[in-house]
């Protein structure tokens, strides 16, 4: 399996994620964690709490459309694994998010920026687990 590194798209995406995290903290006093945004959207504590979450989710969903409008090209999305593997992976990530009290965006982007020891340990755990999983799936199991 070939993985293409896209430095400019990655840099721009990282800058936008960082900017959105800073803006959410500045304007709402909230840490940006995608899983927490979704959970609060599904079970909001108030209508104002629901509104900002709806805007963030709308931005996530309409991002590919904005890309197409700006570039004239469809966003290339290649998922090199089976649907079964995606469902299993999603389930495992959901368990990890629950036990880790947050997701990679909450811990990795916001928590580490705040020098949170819990987030630093969580992010190191995510990265080690990801590396081991990729190795096992690609080199031992042979892909799913």
Q: CA 67, CA 143: separation in Å to the nearest integer?
A: 30
pLDDT of 80 reads: 77
Tell me if 2 is assigned to some domain: no
In 3D space, the residue among 45, 51, 129, 95 whose CA is nearest the CA of residue 103 turns out to be 95
Q: CA 94, CA 41: separation in Å to the nearest integer?
A: 16
What's the domain count of the chain?
1
Tell me if 132 is assigned to some domain: yes
Q: Which domain holds residue 61?
A: 7-141
pLDDT of 3 reads: 63
CA distances 24 to 18, 30, 55, 78, 85, Å, are: 10, 6, 11, 30, 33
Q: CA 80, CA 2: separation in Å to the nearest integer?
A: 10
pLDDT of 42 reads: 92
pLDDT tens, residue order, the chain (144 aa): 566 778 888 898 889 888 988 999 899 888 888 888 888 899 988 888 899 999 999 988 898 888 889 989 887 777 878 889 889 888 888 888 888 888 877 888 888 888 999 999 999 998 998 899 889 988 898 766
Tell me if 1 is assigned to some domain: no
């Amino acid at each position: 399996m070939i993985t293409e590194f896209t430095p400019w798209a990655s840099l721009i995406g990282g800058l936008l994620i960082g900017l959105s995290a800073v803006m959410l903290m500045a304007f709402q006093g909230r840490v940006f964690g995608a899983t927490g945004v979704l959970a609060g959207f599904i079970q909001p504590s108030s209508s104002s709490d629901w509104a900002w979450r709806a805007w963030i989710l709308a931005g996530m969903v309409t991002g590919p459309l904005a890309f197409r409008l700006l570039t004239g090209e469809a966003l290339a999305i290649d998922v090199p694994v089976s649907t079964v593997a995606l469902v299993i992976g999603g389930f495992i990530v959901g368990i990890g998010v629950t036990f880790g009290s947050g997701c990679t965006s909450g811990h990795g982007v916001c928590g580490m920026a705040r020098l949170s020891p819990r987030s630093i340990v969580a992010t190191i755990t995510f990265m080690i687990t990801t590396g081991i999983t990729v190795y096992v799936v690609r080199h031992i199991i042979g892909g799913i």
